[in-house]
Amino acid sequence: MKTLSDNLSVSSAGTLLFAGHDTLALAQKYGTPLYLMDEQRIRRNCRTYVNAFKNAFGDRGMPLYAGKAAAFKRIYQIVREEGLGIDVVSAGEIHTALQAGFPLENAYFHSNNKTDADIAYAMECGVGYFVVDNREELDAIDAAAQKAGIRQKLLLRLTPGIDPHTYEAISTGKVDSKFGTAIETGQAEQLVRYALGLRGIELTGFHCHVGSLVFGEDVYQRTADIMLAFIADMQAKYGYTAQQFDIGGGYGVRYTDDDPQLDIARKIAEVAAHMKAAAARLGITLPKILMEPGRSIVADAGLTLYTAGSVKRITGYKNYLSIDGGMTDNPRYALYGSRYTVYAAGRMNETPDLLCDVVGRCCESGDIIQPNVTLPAGVGRGDIIAVCTTGAYNYSMASNYNRLPRPPIVMLDGDRDYVAVRRESLADLTANDL
Ligand code: LLP
């Protein structure tokens, strides 16, 4: 049978295998809901970026893992071993990376609203670079750095005015975005001029991020054209040479068979060639190039297992299959209408002939994991249900709504399975209640 990704297969007994492991056995061993992560797939995805960057830019390029896609200690260790830097967005992510022993000189601290406490914490921890959203924030960082007696390296986040044609909620590069400072309005130039006069900071270069789940052919080429033209302009006007240009994250992944398969290595090679030509045309040296993939590092390394509850057949209307998790562990359909591939893990060889909405257990009608799924008609209470491609923005966006404990993360590595994040207990749920 055809499966979505090559870390999915079907055993001779008709059960779903993930990274070579029997999902029914894993559900039995660890309970459900259960996040699984394929460690070798994470490593392979990291290597795709690391090698593509090496081939394209030598030591003048580096991919950063965007931890917002999935942040826990083990993932930072893996990413470190694979030679990526990181993009962090909060004191919590910095703390997690630090706990994992990640060298923070290769950390880039984003966020459109860093608090004074965040800024102080990040400086105390030795975060290498700040990515600054706006002028007020720049002032706050400059003041904190002067107080700490350091010169904080930073990039300015700019909005190039690109619409990557992805979901509105995750599109960020347009001029009217809440993120960054716009090139088009002249405010980016003013910010550069201003930054160059500050004593507490060192302006290392520029950042932009146009959106997430990007499949568009030339989105990064168009982005690079605008950003490199800006960089050349700043050089001509102020004699300022940007050392780094971070083009953000965003490559899309396959959630269903309808999604295209991106050849990321080829994409990076094409973008790199485009950037080099643009730099030559503009008469500038290409800065060190950074990129911040999140989803494309971890999404297809993840799979969630649930246990089915009731199947409700509303005569003449529709069918619902309830599972023992929901928008608490995967809010993406509820938030974005995201598509997913769903299997009945023990019935892979049966004909899928029951049309149903797979819904969660939260007290909310919008708690849908995926509508209009076809599963074998025999599916019912006790069946294991697998939702694929859940490695990105599932655990990291999980909540305790309805006081549901968050599932554990179990890593699969060759023959080995091990817990990277333990299951929350009922006691964890009241741990902060006084
Ligand atoms: N860099 C910046 C500045 C970002 O804002 C993001 C994602 C990334 C990198 C990583 O983008 P990726 O490679 O993962 O597409 N929760 C949404 C996605 C939000 C993306 C936020 N920023 C979802 O579940 O689809």
Task: Indicate whether residue 207 lines ligand 1 (CB < 6 A).
Answer: no
How many angstroms separate the alpha carbon of residue 309 from the centre of ligand 1? 33
334-362 pLDDT, tens digit each: 999 999 999 999 999 999 999 999 999 99
Whose C-alpha lies nearest to ligand 1, atom 6? 249
Task: Indicate whether residue 45 lines ligand 1 (CB < 6 A).
Answer: no
| pLDDT of 174 higher than 90 | no
The alpha helices in 198-256, defined as continuous H runs, are: 219-238
The band of 3, judged by pLDDT with boundaries at 50, 70 and 90, is: confident
Q: Which pLDDT score is estimated for 268?
A: 97
| pLDDT of 164 higher than 90 | no
The band of 154, judged by pLDDT with boundaries at 50, 70 and 90, is: very high
The band of 9, judged by pLDDT with boundaries at 50, 70 and 90, is: very high
Place of tokens 């999404």: 299
205-262 pLDDT, tens digit each: 999 999 899 988 899 999 999 999 999 999 999 999 999 999 999 999 999 999 999 9
Calculate mean pLDDT across residues 107-113.
96
Spatial CB neighbours of 393, under 8 Å, sequence gap ≥ 6: 68, 69, 70, 294, 295, 299, 332
Q: Which pLDDT score is estimated for 412?
A: 98
* 42, 45, 46, 68: residue to mutate for ligand 1 pocket, most atoms within 8 A of CB: 68
122-132 pLDDT, tens digit each: 999 999 999 99
As beta bridge partners, residue 323 has: 308
How many angstroms separate the alpha carbon of residue 86 from the centre of ligand 1? 13
Task: Indicate whether residue 248 lines ligand 1 (CB < 6 A).
Answer: yes
Task: Indicate whether residue 300 lines ligand 1 (CB < 6 A).
Answer: no
76-98 pLDDT, tens digit each: 999 999 999 999 999 999 999 99
How many angstroms separate the alpha carbon of residue 209 from the centre of ligand 1? 9
How many angstroms separate the alpha carbon of residue 253 from the centre of ligand 1? 12
| pLDDT of 67 higher than 60 | yes
Task: Indicate whether residue 21 lines ligand 1 (CB < 6 A).
Answer: no
Contact (Cβ atoms closer than 8 angstroms) between residue 234 and residue 242:
yes
How many angstroms separate the alpha carbon of residue 426 from the centre of ligand 1? 31
| pLDDT of 172 higher than 80 | no
| pLDDT of 165 higher than 90 | no
Beta-strand ranges (E) seen in 56-114 are: 61-66, 85-88, 107-109
How many angstroms separate the alpha carbon of residue 171 from the centre of ligand 1? 9
Whose C-alpha lies nearest to ligand 1, atom 9? 249
| pLDDT of 170 higher than 60 | no
Task: Indicate whether residue 391 lines ligand 1 (CB < 6 A).
Answer: no
Q: Which pLDDT score is estimated for 407?
A: 98
315-341 pLDDT, tens digit each: 999 999 999 999 999 999 999 999 999
Q: Which pLDDT score is estimated for 368?
A: 98
Percentage of the chain surpassing pLDDT 70? 97
Task: Indicate whether residue 173 lines ligand 1 (CB < 6 A).
Answer: no
Q: Is 282 exposed, middle or buried (0-12, 13-18, 19+ CB in 10 A)?
A: middle
| pLDDT of 173 higher than 80 | no
Note the Cα 107 to chain centre separation in Å: 15
Question: What is the CB neighbour count within 10 angstroms for residue 218?
Answer: 12
To the question of pTM greater than 0.85 for the whole model, the response is: yes
State the Cα–Cα distance between residues 332 and 233, nearest whole angstrom: 40
Q: Which pLDDT score is estimated for 425?
A: 98
Contact (Cβ atoms closer than 8 angstroms) between residue 180 and residue 157:
yes
Whose C-alpha lies nearest to ligand 1, atom 8? 249
For 260, the 3-state DSSP assignment is coil
Calculate mean pLDDT across residues 133-149.
97
Round the CA-based radius of gyration of the chain to a whole number and report it: 23
Q: Is 176 exposed, middle or buried (0-12, 13-18, 19+ CB in 10 A)?
A: exposed
| pLDDT of 275 higher than 70 | yes
- Average pLDDT score, the chain: 96
User: Is 363 tagged catalytic?
Assistant: yes
Calculate mean pLDDT across residues 405-418.
98
Q: Which of 46, 208, 362, 363 is catalytic?
A: 363
Calculate mean pLDDT across residues 284-296.
98
